[in-house]
């Protein structure tokens, strides 16, 4: 029997735990993931990572199960364990190795999200005791349009596909592989800088975990990793027990797939029984021709996010979340697409609608705890071309916030990123410094939140003036279907995309790719959040307070 089996036996024997120690280890593990994120942010090259913080970091146990994560992006973190397991299965890992991948059908989300996975070996053990990983959205990974978020028909049009392969072997970077990746992108210097920053983040995570093992013994660290996962499972089960048993269904729609004008149905039935839940997306449409298909990792991420939100108070985000849940997402549907379906928008847009339908279903079970729909879109915009200031190609990507749905207790926030995204808005100063762009207007969108007892938050207006010729792609939603209100609240206002060229306004669709010229202006007006409760209730309460 090898040493690691002996450690596992010792962990099982030491089943009693100290609640104080559990809290200490929880803080240690989370702080490691957070420090990884700080290192990645500070050492990255692109504004998308440095300014918007479009990245996530986490640590995993010896089986590739999540132990702790930073306060980063839900859409990344729920899917990352699948990437870690793909890396474990694809490679015979040695000390100093790092696996790189972005393949959405091997645990990735969409191609711009590149994941790096590193094993953490402890002296005396013949296999890794832990893994650290981070995922960052790169502003360009090739494909048919700058920014790699096109309105595509198949994944091959969206950029370079990286299966799980070793970027670093025993501490030495595979330069041939790195050069191959960089040869397929528009901004190789920026990409290399961001990948190097990801490597540095994993090194920080590895170093800190080894310090923890040196301070405590390996069996104790592994023991509390398991106890944290068990603790999360108990909290989720207790939360589910408080929900009335029953079947709760909801349906909502994506505006279209970007190629055909037909709405795309996403339906769910949530079956609560005791301390378990079955989440069934069988009523959703088949996968579509356009790029709004979600892979299973995305649907899993959204499901974990929603059920974690049901917990009153804080709960560690780890593998224990999934144990009481059963996910049904038939292969070949828009929530579990099969290759070679295009998936760029599935990560950013379909994930939001999956969240909306889950919350809509659960609002029937616990109406006093579920908010109205938020803006329901990440309002993705990418652009690129040749920078006249440097003579070099550039590519940029960002998302824009919107209105938060009103809750049973308060108005929704205005101008924020909600649900599956947790990025920041890019500061105007940074955007204009990096790119041949001028921001003409950046403000809240008045009266875009739905009315109700509590009002939905307002969306955002962001107005770009292009200073050179470039290609622009937009992937956005809620341009045809409004964010819903709840309990009599009104829906939020739908979003709009408008191009002003030579003084003439042209309304654009939610998913477009266009050429723009110097002086052209693009106006993105994002949706507001839905309202909660009947307006009459609000009026009555006001009159009562006045009397």
Sort strands 55-60 and 66-69 into parallel, antiparallel or unpaired.
antiparallel
Identify the domain boundary among 181, 209, 232: 232
Q: Tally the C-alpha atoms within 13 A of residue 234's C-alpha that lie toward its C-beta.
A: 6
Ranges assigned E (strand) in 109-194: 113-120, 130-137, 165-169, 172-173
Name the nearest CA neighbour of 395 among 405, 404, 385: 385
**First-residue to last-residue Cα distance in the chain:** 79
Mark 143-154 as b/e (b = at least 16 C-beta within 10 Å). Answer: bbbbbbbbbbbe
Enter the tokens of residue 443. Answer: 């403000």
The residues facing 401 across adjacent strands are: none
Q: What is the pTM of this model?
A: 0.92
- The pLDDT assigned to 534 comes to 93
Q: How many CB atoms lie within 10 A of CB 336?
A: 22
- Kindly report the three-state secondary structure assignment for every residue of 383-451: EEEEECCCCEEEEEEECCCECCCCCCCCCCCCCECCCCCCCCCCCHHHHHHHCCEEEEEEEEECCCCCC
The answer to the question of residue 476 being in a domain is yes
Instruction: Evaluate whether 39 touches 201 at the Cβ level (below 8 Å).
Output: yes
Distance CA 244, CA 490 (A): 27
Helix (H) or strand (E) run with residue 265 in it: strand 264-273
The answer to the question of residue 399 being in a domain is yes
pLDDT tens for the chain, 547 residues long, are 455 555 555 545 445 778 999 999 999 999 999 999 999 999 999 988 998 888 999 999 999 999 998 776 766 667 788 999 999 998 899 999 999 999 999 988 899 999 999 999 999 898 999 999 999 999 999 999 999 999 999 999 999 999 999 999 999 999 999 999 999 999 999 999 999 999 999 999 999 999 999 999 999 999 999 999 999 999 999 999 999 999 999 999 999 999 988 999 999 999 999 999 999 999 999 999 999 999 999 999 999 999 999 998 888 889 999 999 999 999 999 999 999 999 999 999 999 999 999 999 999 999 999 999 999 999 999 999 999 999 999 999 999 999 999 999 999 999 999 998 877 778 899 899 989 999 999 999 999 999 999 999 999 999 999 999 999 999 999 999 999 999 999 999 999 999 999 989 999 999 999 999 999 999 999 999 999 999 875 555 555 555 5
Instruction: Evaluate whether 137 touches 162 at the Cβ level (below 8 Å).
Output: no
The answer to the question of residue 243 being in a domain is no
Q: CA of 120: how far to CAs of 4, 8, 452, in Å?
A: 13, 17, 52
Q: How many domains does the chain have?
A: 2
The answer to the question of residue 245 being in a domain is no
Distance CA 84, CA 86 (A): 5
CA 91 centroid distance within chain: 26
Identify the domain boundary among 203, 232, 261: 232
Distance CA 57, CA 429 (A): 27
The answer to the question of residue 241 being in a domain is no
Identify the domain boundary among 232, 254, 289: 232
Enclosing domain of residue 441:
371-547
For tokens 């269904």, name the residue.
Answer: 249
Distance CA 428, CA 264 (A): 35
Give the CA-trace dihedral at 199, 205, 207, 213, to 10 degrees.
Answer: -150
Mark 500-522 as b/e (b = at least 16 C-beta within 10 Å). Answer: beeeeeeebebbebbebeeebbb
Q: How many CB atoms lie within 10 A of CB 94?
A: 14
Crossing angle, helix 80-90 and helix 296-309, to 10 degrees?
Answer: 140
Instruction: Evaluate whether 49 touches 397 at the Cβ level (below 8 Å).
Output: no
The answer to the question of residue 75 being in a domain is yes
Sort strands 496-501 and 437-445 into parallel, antiparallel or unpaired.
unpaired
């Amino acid at each position: 029997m090898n040493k690691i089996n002996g450690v596992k036996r010792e962990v099982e024997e030491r089943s009693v735990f100290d609640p104080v120690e559990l809290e200490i280890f929880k803080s240690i593990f989370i702080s490691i993931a957070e420090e990884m994120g700080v290192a990645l942010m500070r050492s990255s090259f692109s504004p998308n990572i440095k300014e918007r913080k479009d990245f996530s970091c986490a640590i995993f146990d010896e089986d590739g199960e999540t132990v702790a994560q930073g306060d980063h992006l839900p859409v990344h973190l729920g899917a990352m364990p699948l990437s870690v397991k793909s890396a474990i299965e694809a490679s015979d890992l040695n000390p100093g190795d790092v696996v790189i991948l972005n393949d959405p059908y091997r645990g990735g989300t969409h191609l711009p999200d590149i994941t790096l996975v590193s094993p953490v070996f402890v002296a005396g053990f013949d296999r890794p005791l832990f893994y650290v990983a981070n995922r960052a959205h790169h502003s360009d990974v090739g494909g048919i349009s700058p920014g790699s978020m096109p309105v595509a028909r198949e994944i091959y049009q969206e950029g370079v596909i990286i299966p799980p392969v070793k970027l670093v072997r025993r501490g030495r970077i595979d330069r041939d592989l790195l050069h191959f990746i960089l040869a397929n992108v528009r901004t190789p210097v920026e990409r290399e800088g961001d990948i190097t920053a990801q490597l540095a983040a994993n090194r920080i995570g590895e170093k800190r975990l080894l310090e923890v093992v040196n301070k405590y013994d390996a069996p104790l660290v592994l023991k509390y990793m398991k106890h944290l996962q068990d603790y999360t499972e108990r909290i989720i089960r207790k939360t589910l027990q408080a929900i009335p048993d029953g079947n709760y269904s909801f349906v909502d729609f994506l505006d279209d797939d970007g190629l055909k004008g037909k709405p795309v149905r996403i339906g769910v039935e949530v079956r609560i029984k005791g301390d378990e839940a079955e989440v069934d997306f069988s009523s959703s449409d088949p996968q579509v021709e356009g790029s709004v298909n979600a892979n299973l990792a995305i649907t899993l991420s959204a499901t974990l996010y929603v059920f974690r939100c049901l917990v009153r108070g804080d709960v560690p985000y780890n593998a224990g979340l999934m144990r009481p849940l059963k996910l049904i997402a038939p292969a070949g549907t828009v929530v579990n697409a099969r290759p070679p379906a295009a998936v760029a928008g599935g990560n950013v847009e379909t994930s939001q609608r999956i969240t909306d339908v889950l919350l809509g279903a659960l609002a029937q079970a616990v109406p006093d705890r579920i908010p109205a729909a938020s803006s329901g879109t990440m309002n993705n915009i990418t652009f690129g071309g040749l920078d006249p200031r440097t003579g070099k190609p550039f590519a940029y990507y960002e998302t824009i916030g919107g209105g938060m749905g009103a809750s049973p207790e308060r108005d929704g926030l205005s101008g924020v990123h909600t649900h599956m995204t947790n990025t920041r808005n890019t500061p105007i100063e940074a955007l204009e410094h990096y790119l041949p762009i001028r921001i003409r207007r950046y403000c809240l969108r008045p009266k875009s939140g739905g009315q109700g007892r509590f009002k939905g938050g307002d969306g955002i207006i962001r107005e770009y003036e292009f200073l050179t010729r470039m290609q622009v792609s937009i992937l956005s939603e809620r341009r045809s279907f409004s964010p819903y209100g709840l309990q009599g609240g009104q829906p939020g206002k739908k979003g709009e995309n408008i191009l002003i060229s030579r003084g003439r306004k042209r309304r654009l669709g939610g998913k477009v790719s266009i050429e723009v010229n110097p002086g052209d202006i693009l106006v993105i007006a994002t949706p507001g959040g839905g309202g909660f409760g009947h307006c009459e209730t609000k009026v009555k309460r006001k009159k009562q307070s006045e009397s």
